[in-house]
Chain A
Amino acid sequence: MEPELLLAATGALGLAVVFAPPRVPRAKLLTWGLLGLAGMAAIAIAPSLDLVILILLVLAVLQARLTSHRDFATRLRAPMLAVVLMALGLVLERMQGPVVLERFGAVGIVAGLVAAVGLLPYAHEFDPEESVVASPVPWIAFVGPLLAAAVVAQASEVVPADAGDAFGAMLIGLGLLNTLWGSVGSWRTANDAAAWRYSFMSDWGLVLCGFGLAIADGRAAALIILVSIVLGRLPLYLWSREALREKVPTDRAINLVVAAVLAGSAPFAGFPARVLLLRGATQLYWPLAVVLAAAMLLWLPGSLRLGRSMGVPRGRQAVGVAIVLGLNVLLGVYPQPLLTLAGL
């Protein structure tokens, strides 16, 4: 799963740099993006969870050292909490002792993962005026997807079968929380930039549920949603920042199409992922599918709002939006090559 996400992140960086608005410093975006990609490549090839945590530590320090509105300590707080929780979880898993310790270890690893990505209950402090590179957005939409895939894959080797249920239950519980909170937040919050951040959270909720199901359908759904975050929601968010500044909602056809992409409707990438997730949840425990289906309905108002906040893309941004829409249609209509590549 990691190589596919690394490839998607490379594509997203390319799109962000090539189709960036004129006032965005592309050289800096490219430099920091490549640094992030190098870290992600290291995470992808890391043979153990210890190394993944150490690489996370390095990435956290490098990002926190960028001067920004928020100070060093504030920006370091959430990733460091993630490192501590994952490290303690890993240590507990490696000790020979009662099962309850292993379960605590599983809880620590999941909590650390959620803290690293910036999901509830450890949402990163978000300042809409901050530059994208120094903000929490790279954690939730660029580095986070590959990090999550790597941590879940490595954890499956560390967490014993006795504690596997705690691991899955934590993932599903936090997934539902983020799905509901993110959907309602992106609909109800007063600030458009914050609404985008909540929409990332709601997508991540489905990803956590997919990983928590621990069956092929769940993992496939998680992969598709992660790729759609990196190659869909992230570039659209970057291109919406100009329009967010002008604060003029638009109601063109393109805004409706973007809303459809963000809502995960057919024929875009979110749709097969949601179908796979509901199918997997039904196999495992059907009331979970009912709750997920209800939560998915909440996507619509928030997505319509975000689609309107995009403005009307012009020039190179219009080309970028067209490419993103095309990729999402491709993934939505025929996701099998991606799943085959990932061995799912």
Chain B
Amino acid sequence: MAGAAFVAWVAASLIVLADARRGLALGLGLLSISLAVLTWPAGMVIGSGAIVVGGLIAAVQCWRSGPAGWGIMPAGSTPRLILCVASALLAFWLAASVTTGPDASLRFAALVVPALMGARILMSRDVTVALAGIAAMAMALGTASGLDAESAGPIPAIVAGLIAAGVMFVPAVPISPSTAAPPARSAKQDGA
């Protein structure tokens, strides 16, 4: 289990550090497998399968879209690297030392993966990167439901797998601006 948690962190870090499709796809693929392994002992065999299938579909779709190449650790990615290491240390301390219980590996992954994916989505302006981060975030949320002893069974994990599989296929939709209101100064400019 500790190995799976470590691989989950490595995979999440790959998604944070990669700017091109191959790096993102590899991160998604590794993350789906490691999270599925972490989900399995919580009695969610179906949920575990849903996460791995959904994650791999997302990885395949990611492999086919976005900028070509691996794009791992391009110039200027030092802050992202520091983020990955620092978040792992903090999550490790919380999961292994501050909290108690049998699922330390799951606790570590449930803390570090959403935090890293949230940071990745918030710092990115690229659609493919953001969608890969969202797929990973969904899988992490599905896995985290295993922490709850009275959870809703495998349903969150199945929903997470479906979201991970589907989110990479969501097309951009044009919307008519005809409901637009007045051409006036933006609220963010008026100081109120």
Given contacts A190-B185, A191-B184, contact A51 B176 (CB under 8 A): no
Q: What is the bound-complex CA distance between A35 and B121, given in angstroms?
A: 24
In the bound complex, residues from chain A placing their C-beta under 8 Å from that of B107 are 91, 95
Q: Would B183 and A131 count as touching, CB distance under 8 A?
A: no
Tell me the dominant secondary structure on chain B's binding face.
helix
| Minimum Cβ distance to chain A for residue B39 (Å) | 13
| Minimum Cβ distance to chain A for residue B5 (Å) | 14
Q: What is the bound-complex CA distance between A67 and B58, given in angstroms?
A: 23
- From 40 to 84 in chain A, residues with beta carbon under 8 angstroms from any chain B beta carbon are 47-48, 50-51, 53-54, 57-58, 61-62, 65-69, 71-73, 76-77, 80-81, 83-84
Given contacts A57-B163, A73-B125, A130-B177, contact A95 B187 (CB under 8 A): no
Given contacts A134-B175, A189-B190, contact A54 B184 (CB under 8 A): no
Task: Please choose the segment from A21-29, A141-149, A213-221, A224-232 that sits at the chain B interface, where 4 or more of its residues have CB less than 8 A away.
Answer: A21-29
Task: Please choose the segment from A121-129, A170-178, A334-342 that sits at the chain B interface, where 4 or more of its residues have CB less than 8 A away.
Answer: A121-129
Give the bracket for the number of chain B residues in contact with chain A: 35 or more
In the bound complex, residues from chain A placing their C-beta under 8 Å from that of B114 are 84, 87-88, 91
- From 145 to 192 in chain B, residues with beta carbon under 8 angstroms from any chain A beta carbon are 145, 147-148, 151-152, 155-156, 159-160, 163, 167, 170-188, 190-192
Q: What is the bound-complex CA distance between A127 and B145, given in angstroms?
A: 37
Q: Would A51 and B187 count as touching, CB distance under 8 A?
A: no
In the bound complex, residues from chain A placing their C-beta under 8 Å from that of B182 are 128-129, 192-193, 241, 244-245, 247
B18 at the interface (CB under 8 A from A): no
In the bound complex, residues from chain A placing their C-beta under 8 Å from that of B65 are none
- From 199 to 250 in chain A, residues with beta carbon under 8 angstroms from any chain B beta carbon are 241, 244-245, 247
Q: Would B181 and A241 count as touching, CB distance under 8 A?
A: yes
A316 at the interface (CB under 8 A from B): no
A97 at the interface (CB under 8 A from B): yes
Q: Would A91 and B190 count as touching, CB distance under 8 A?
A: no
Given contacts A48-B156, A51-B159, A244-B181, contact A81 B99 (CB under 8 A): no
B142 at the interface (CB under 8 A from A): yes
| Minimum Cβ distance to chain A for residue B100 (Å) | 5
In the bound complex, residues from chain A placing their C-beta under 8 Å from that of B144 are 50, 87, 90-91, 94
Q: Would B173 and A66 count as touching, CB distance under 8 A?
A: yes
Q: What is the bound-complex CA distance between A57 and B164, given in angstroms?
A: 11
Q: What is the bound-complex CA distance between A29 and B152, given in angstroms?
A: 34
B111 at the interface (CB under 8 A from A): yes
Q: Would A131 and B185 count as touching, CB distance under 8 A?
A: no
A194 at the interface (CB under 8 A from B): yes
In the bound complex, residues from chain B placing their C-beta under 8 Å from that of A72 are 127, 130, 172
In the bound complex, residues from chain A placing their C-beta under 8 Å from that of B94 are 95, 97, 101
Q: Would A48 and B148 count as touching, CB distance under 8 A?
A: yes
A197 at the interface (CB under 8 A from B): yes
Q: What is the bound-complex CA distance between A32 and B167, given in angstroms?
A: 18
- From 230 to 283 in chain A, residues with beta carbon under 8 angstroms from any chain B beta carbon are 241, 244-245, 247
B140 at the interface (CB under 8 A from A): yes
Q: Would B185 and A191 count as touching, CB distance under 8 A?
A: yes
In the bound complex, residues from chain A placing their C-beta under 8 Å from that of B101 are 95-96
Chain A: CB-nearest residue to B113: A87
Q: What is the bound-complex CA distance between A185 and B191, given in angstroms?
A: 9
Q: What is the bound-complex CA distance between A72 and B159, given in angstroms?
A: 23
Q: What is the bound-complex CA distance between A189 and B190, given in angstroms?
A: 6
B138 at the interface (CB under 8 A from A): yes
Q: What is the bound-complex CA distance between A318 and B122, given in angstroms?
A: 43
Q: What is the bound-complex CA distance between A126 and B184, given in angstroms?
A: 12
A198 at the interface (CB under 8 A from B): yes
A133 at the interface (CB under 8 A from B): yes
- From 99 to 156 in chain A, residues with beta carbon under 8 angstroms from any chain B beta carbon are 101, 125-134
Q: What is the bound-complex CA distance between A66 and B179, given in angstroms?
A: 14
In the bound complex, residues from chain A placing their C-beta under 8 Å from that of B190 are 189-191, 194
Q: Would A54 and B138 count as touching, CB distance under 8 A?
A: yes
Given contacts A24-B178, A87-B144, A244-B181, contact A188 B192 (CB under 8 A): yes
Q: Would A51 and B115 count as touching, CB distance under 8 A?
A: no
A315 at the interface (CB under 8 A from B): no
Question: A51's contact among B110, B131, B152, by CB below 8 Å, is which?
Answer: B152
In the bound complex, residues from chain A placing their C-beta under 8 Å from that of B160 are 54
A-B pairs with beta carbons under 8 Å apart, 13 shown:
A48-B145, A50-B141, A54-B141, A65-B171, A72-B172, A81-B118, A81-B122, A83-B118, A95-B147, A101-B99, A131-B180, A194-B186, A247-B184
Known: A68-B175, A84-B115. 5 other contacts (CB 8 A): A83-B137, A87-B118, A91-B107, A94-B144, A190-B192
